[in-house]
Amino acid sequence: MLKWIWLSVVVVILDLATKAIASDQLILHQPVAMFPGFNFTLMHNSGAAFSFLSDASGWQRWFFTIVALGVSVGIVVWLKGLARNQRWTAVALALILGGALGNVWDRITLGYVVDFIQVYYDRWYWPAFNIADSAISVGAVTLIIDAFRTAQDEKKQASEKV
C-alpha cells in the first residue's frame, strides 16, 4: 500500500505552496476577511496544536520535529504492512503523513509552523491552521471511522459463522 505515498506528496506540495503564498501576501496577525466566519490571517506557531508549548524556550521545536519524524516512520511501516483491501486506512495514513511532513518542513527550516486559515463565529475564534493540519485532521477522522467500520464488519462476519 506504499502506492498511497503519492497522496502524502500532494498534501506536502499543497501545504508548502499555500504557506508560501500566505507568507508572501499576508501581514503577520492582520486578518483578511474572505466571508463571514472565515479569514486569512498569517500566524507563526512555534508550539504544537492550538499553540501548545509555544511559549517554551525553543526546545519544543526539536521535540515536535523528532516526534513527527518518528510517527512518520511508523506510518510508513504501517502503510507497508496493510492489505490491499485496507484502502481507507491507507488514505487516512497518507493524509496524516503528508500533514506531518509539511509541518516538519516548517519547523526545520523556519523554527515555527506557518498557519493562515482562521475560522470564527461571533467572538469565538478557532486557532489558526493550515493545509497540513487539515490533512492530519481529515486523516485522523477517516482512521477512526474506518476502525469502527472494520470492527462492525468483523462482528458481522463472526455472527454469520455462528
- Catalytically active residues, by annotation: 115, 133
CB-side exposure of 130: number of CA atoms within 13 Å? 33
DSSP 28: B
Write the burial class of residue 49 (CB in 10 Å: 0-12 exposed, 13-18 middle, 19+ buried): middle
What separation, in Å, do the N-terminal and C-terminal C-alpha atoms of the chain show?
Answer: 33
Angle at 134 between CA 45 and CA 94, to 5 degrees: 115
Count the neighbouring beta carbons within 10 Å of the beta carbon of residue 110. 14
Give the residue from 112, 147, 120 showing the smallest Cα distance to 33.
120
